[in-house]
Structure 1
């Protein structure tokens, strides 16, 4: 029979009882009290009785305590099975998920779990079922999200340059104005709202697909909207069409909303009716055009999404007049919430002027 393993000599029974008293781990406290009995001269059988375990378990506690002290008696999570994919393989999986599939090479335009499982097997010879792979991708920080559209001809360098040069452009406009003129930065855009309406997302039980009525008629109107996020104000009109005459009306409406003795820098896209020769630009407004194919720079796009998701989407409009009434009501609700305009519209890069 092998001899009992001696306890390390840099602790006493009182030390262990003090550790047990302040421990927040019930299992550790019980083991410390059991080993304290051995320090007091008690037998291993007495220690096993106090710990409510067998002698072999007491021996395991002694070995753990001798190696790591009281910390060795804390319950640790079992290491579990070795991962099927090592660190390098997981990194490769992250890269392929991040970059997305090549339609010509992989045969799909978006990754499904079954496609990724096939890629993992082809690349590493490791077979993973879809549930296991889904949990792994979740742990790696990926979620299935809706995609923000980006124009295929967009020039990322032009977007970066616009953000960088905006303060200089505003400074140049300010230099041509009377001294002390306040500058307001406004953003402008249009949204078409019609009987072929959007269907926003809604809560539903997992595994179901909720339904909603969808109109097939074609009446529509346009909201001409402009916001000044820094001041929390806006100016809008609901009009039957997009043309230079409508733009002139909207510019006049914005002009009336600019503070007295202030000047508005109105940032907008390059639509033809924005810069047509017959558009009348008020004296207190200067137009500044966004880079081509860059709607995400314009915060009014976020305003449209908010209004559709909360006030305009998922409706059946009875007529053109009904569309106009609903659009006017939605825009007026927005104007009554200046904090919402600030939340939706403020961009740090646009207001470091």
Structure 2
């Protein structure tokens, strides 16, 4: 056993016990009380008994206390192993993930962990497991997410330009109304629901392939749906087809849902029946067409996805009337949850903070 090391002289037993009393670190409290026994005239063996450790450990505590004071008795975080990738390699990996693979060069159309493992090996001659690379990507903020569809012919500046000009368009509509007229922002779209229904993901044991019923019949109906996210309200009709007559009926339904004295700015895509010359537009509604090939600007698209995932998919519809009943049930359930409409539909670029 090495010779005993003396404790620094700027502390007393009482002072060390006071530090232990005020500490919230259990390990530091145990070590301080052990050293307080030495300051009080006790032997190193007595101090080891207080700390529940051996003499060598007490000696290590004394050295740490002499060097760093009470803070030296707090356990530091273990440094862990040396990272497999350095900062520059992580930056290159992030750039590769953002770019995506080149099918002709990499042989895949989307990155999997095994593909990125091979990419890291080719680029940096670094061997890394898929599990470790997955942790690296998660630490960098990446997750495996479903891609949002984008029209292949969409121009890159269309959506930013529409968002930038949107306040001015609403202001122009407001200027044509009587002073003080409240404005409600609404979005509208249609969704086809039919016997050829969708199948969603579901929980199942790994290695199994869960099944779900799938119909081959073709009866269907259309939900004409509109939401006002700021107010958490909606208006819908379920009709057999999409045409100008159906859209006129739906606009009347929306007009009846707009608050008395308010005016609705209704954003919608440029389908033929939305902009038809024969469309009857109520006085308390102004139509504001969205840019072509930009469905992601319309939050009603997300409403349809939510309704299908939770209430409309994985079903067999017995008849057209059964489709109507389920569509009405799903929409009424949505409008009974105004917070859901707000959560799905609110957009920073349209509604502000």
TM-score with structure 2 length normalisation? 0.89
**8 Å CA contact 1:48, 1:58 repeated in 2:** yes
Helix, strand or coil: the match of 1:266?
A: strand
Distance in 2 (alpha carbons) for counterparts of 1:249 and 1:352: 31
The equivalent residue for 1:228 is: 228
Residue in 1 that maps onto 2:298? 298
Q: Is the alpha carbon distance of 1:36 and 1:213 closer, same or farther for their aligned partners in structure 2, counting shifts above 3 Å? A: same
- Output the CA distance in 1 between the equivalents of 2:32 and 2:182: 73
Aligned to 1:343: 343
Q: How does 1:207-286 map to 2 (within 5 A)?
A: 207-286=207-286
Partner in structure 2 of residue 7 of structure 1? 7
**Structure 2 match to 1:166:** 166
1:197 match: secondary structure? coil
Q: 1:211 aligns to what SS in structure 2?
A: coil
What SS does structure 2 have at the residue aligned with 1:238? strand
Give the superposition deviation at 1:115.
Answer: 0.8
The residue correspondences of 1:194-209 to structure 2 (distance < 5 A) are 194-209=194-209
CA deviation after TM superposition for structure 1 residue 206, in Å? 4.6
Superposed, which structure 2 residues align to 1:307-318 within 5 Å? 307-318=307-318
Give the SS at the match of 1:4: coil
**CA 180–40 in structure 1, closer or farther in 2 if over 3 Å, else same:** closer
Partner of 1:147: 147
Q: How big is the alpha-carbon RMSD for the aligned residues of Structure 1 and Structure 2?
A: 2.5
Measure, in 2, the Cα distance between the counterparts of 1:263 and 1:130.
55
1:119 counterpart = 2:119 = yes
Structure 2 residue 285 is the aligned partner of structure 1 residue 288: no
3-state SS of 1:155 partner: coil
- Give deviations 1:1-49, integer Å, cap 9, x for gaps: 9653332222122222222233333332332233223333444344334
Structure 1 residues 62 and 303 mapped into 2: Cα distance closer, same or farther (>3 Å)? Answer: same
With over 3 angstroms needed to count, the CA separation of the structure-2 counterparts of 1:344 and 1:79, relative to structure 1, is closer
1:84 corresponding residue in structure 2: 84
Q: Are residue 27 (structure 1) and residue 27 (structure 2) matched?
A: yes
Displacement of 1:349: 2.8
- CA gap of 1:283–1:51, structure 2 versus 1, over 3 A, is closer
Q: Return the alpha-carbon distance in structure 1 between the equivalents of residues 134 and 143 of structure 2.
A: 10
Measured in 1, the distance between the counterparts of 2:186 and 2:197 equals 28
Task: Please report how far the alpha carbon of residue 261 of structure 1 lies from its aligned counterpart in structure 2 after TM superposition.
Answer: 4.3
Farther-moved stretch of structure 1 (248-257 vs 214-223):
248-257
| SS, match of residue 296 in structure 2 | helix
CA distance in 1, matches of 2:200, 2:150: 20
> Which runs of no fewer than 5 residues in structure 1 stay unpaired?
none
Q: Secondary structure at the match of 1:198?
A: coil
Q: 1:283 to 1:21 in 2, by over 3 A?
A: closer
Change beyond 3 A, Cα 1:29–1:262: closer
CA contact (8 A) 1:64 1:72 kept: yes
Deviation at 1:253, TM superposition (A): 2.8
In 2 relative to 1, CA 80–176 (structure 1 residues): closer, same or farther, beyond 3 Å?
closer
Aligned residues: 353
Please state if 1:157 is matched with 2:153. Answer: no
- Is there any run of 5+ residues in structure 2 with no aligned partner, and where? none
Name the CA distance, whole Å, in 1 between partners of 2:77 and 2:352. 50
Q: SS where residue 157 of structure 2 aligns?
A: helix
Match of 1:38, SS state, is helix
Q: Would the aligned equivalents of 1:167 and 1:352 in 2 still touch at CA under 8 Å?
A: no
Distance 1:215 1:314 in 2: 10
* Structure 2 Cα separation of the partners of residues 243 and 221 of structure 1: 13
Bigger shift: residues 289-298 or 49-58: 49-58
Tell me by how many angstroms 1:208 deviates.
4.1
Post-superposition offset of 1:190: 0.5
Give the drift of 1:141. Answer: 2.8
TM-score (norm 1): 0.89
Greater mean alpha carbon deviation, residues 324-333 or residues 107-116: 324-333
Q: Distance in 2 between matches of 1:27 and 1:252?
A: 71
